[in-house]
Amino acid sequence: MELRLTDEQKMVQKTIRQFVEKELMPLEPEVLRNEREGKPSISAEKIKQLRQKAADFGFWGINTPEEYGGADLGQMMLALVTMETSKTFVPFSFGGYADNILYYCNDEQKERYLLPTISGEKKSCFAMTEPDAGSDTRRIKMTAVKDGDHYVLNGEKTFITGGNEADFVMVMAVTDKEKGPEGVTCFLVDRDMGWESHYIDTMGDWGPASLIFDNVRVPEENILGELNGGYKLGLEWIGFARWIVGARAVGASERLLQMAIDYAKERITFGKPIAERQAIQWQIADSAVEIEAAKWLVFNAAYTLDRGEDNRHLASIAKLYGANMGNRVIDRVLQIHGGMGYTKEMPIERWYREARLWRIYDGTDEIQRMIIARNLLKGHVKLGDFL
């Protein structure tokens, strides 16, 4: 068993870190200014330029299969990359990416949806959550009624990331209500088919959407996967996303803890730097320990997925611990900075608001605990087994 990064992984980590420090972090003052003025944090043209610079370094389609022009570096590498890019709040992601369930497209759908998404010509979003079906995904009510060679969709989705910008949506709808979750189907629905999106204001800078479907006609050929097979696809999408939240928390927490360490060395009270105060030292020490613990939980979930093994239990653990760790660390960092941490002169308050979301989306703390406990109580996972 090898518990160290390979030379290739270290090289990628170093290169991504340099890219983040050189290209992204200098944009942070501009992003903060734009967000506080109610403007887009960064222009689409700037994102395009940054992605081209990254592509020139070979970072395009990091986890996309080689047959689609990607690097296919694997989940461990994706975890490393996510941790590094999360050390800034500049909203950047590498190009050449498509949601994992889009690879279930048939050949004709790949031409219309998968390939344009990978190339950046189209933007997608995933829609499962409804006003009365958040964590309890079995309560989906959106209907899809067969009408000739079309389905007519009616209902609402809410808190949809990317819903305001998407060209098409992967949406879950009930096609056979008698079958419960086994009667849910996933549809690929273009915006020009008639659905509407509405911006939802939040306490953070995440701007999700509510999607309204009012008699939206979708061709039968736009079913993704199989009829009544959508619920399984939805769980696969959610399961993949969970451990990524932990990776984001690790990256952001490392950046913020370093800010606290630097500030503690400079801030003088009663003739000494606060770094010499035990109260500050213990907050720094506790944060460092928790970050390392979360990091290994994320790596384990990613490594397990790379081996083709079921990582859902580990993903829930990584998400639950990582999200809560991030909240604790950011709270300590703000406390160490005192009044300055609470001001908008520093980005800590922004991260503070963003971090609170980590414990809610892609499955709340309560849902993760329910999953972990259920797996143990029903014997799906046994304590002491090597994972």
Give me the CATH number covering residue 147: 2.40.110.10
Claim to verify: residue 215 and residue 242 sit in the same structural domain: no
Task: Tell me whether residue 99 is one of the annotated catalytic residues.
Answer: yes
Q: Say if 114 falls within a structural domain.
A: no
Claim to verify: residue 27 and residue 92 sit in the same structural domain: yes
Dist. CA 298–CA 293, nearest whole Å: 9
Q: Say if 18 falls within a structural domain.
A: yes
Cβ burial 35-46 (10 Å sphere, 16+ → b, else e)? beeeeebbeeee
Claim to verify: residue 246 and residue 189 sit in the same structural domain: no
Say whether pLDDT at 241 is over 80. Answer: no
Final residue in a domain of this structure, among 201, 228, 255: 228
Dist. CA 206–CA 193, nearest whole Å: 26
> Residue 199 in 3-state DSSP?
strand
Q: Please give the structure tokens belonging to residue 206.
A: 């995440």
**Mean pLDDT, to the nearest integer, of 207-228?**
96
More confident residue, 145 or 43: 145
Mean pLDDT of the chain: 93
The DSSP H or E segment spanning 145 is strand 143-147
Q: Which of 270, 291, 287 shows the shortest CA–CA distance to 336?
A: 287
Domain that holds residue 169: 124-228
Q: Say if 89 falls within a structural domain.
A: yes
> Cβ–Cβ contacts within 10 Å for residue 241, how many?
18
Instruction: Convert the pLDDT of each residue in 13-33 to its tens digit.
Output: 999 999 999 999 999 999 999
Q: Say if 277 falls within a structural domain.
A: yes
Claim to verify: residue 80 and residue 143 sit in the same structural domain: no
Q: Say if 200 falls within a structural domain.
A: yes
**Residue 341 one-letter amino acid:** G
Final residue in a domain of this structure, among 194, 228, 262: 228
Compute CA distances 248 → 120, 240, 357, whole Å: 23, 14, 12
Instruction: Convert the pLDDT of each residue in 137-194 to its tens digit.
Output: 778 999 999 999 999 999 999 999 999 999 999 999 999 999 998 999 999 999 999 9
Say whether pLDDT at 97 is over 70. Answer: yes
Number of folded domains that form the chain: 3
Say whether pLDDT at 386 is over 70. Answer: no
Instruction: Convert the pLDDT of each residue in 270-322 to its tens digit.
Output: 999 999 999 999 999 999 999 999 999 999 999 999 998 989 999 999 999 99
Q: Say if 117 falls within a structural domain.
A: no
Name the DSSP class of 178: G
pTM (two decimals)? 0.91
Name the DSSP class of 114: I
Distant-in-sequence, close-in-space partners of 113: CB < 8 Å, separation ≥ 6: 102, 105, 122, 124, 168, 188
Q: Please give the structure tokens belonging to residue 297.
A: 């939980």
Q: Which of 7, 99, 107, 385 is catalytic?
A: 99
- CATH number of the domain enclosing 21: 1.10.540.10
Claim to verify: residue 54 and residue 155 sit in the same structural domain: no
Claim to verify: residue 263 and residue 158 sit in the same structural domain: no
Residue 373, classified by CB atoms within 10 Å of its CB into exposed (0-12), middle (13-18) or buried (19+), is exposed
- CATH number of the domain enclosing 329: 1.20.140.10
Claim to verify: residue 138 and residue 217 sit in the same structural domain: yes
Is the distance from CB of 154 to CB of 213 less than 8 angstroms? Answer: yes
Highest averaged pLDDT of the listed ranges 199-213, 264-278, 353-367: 264-278
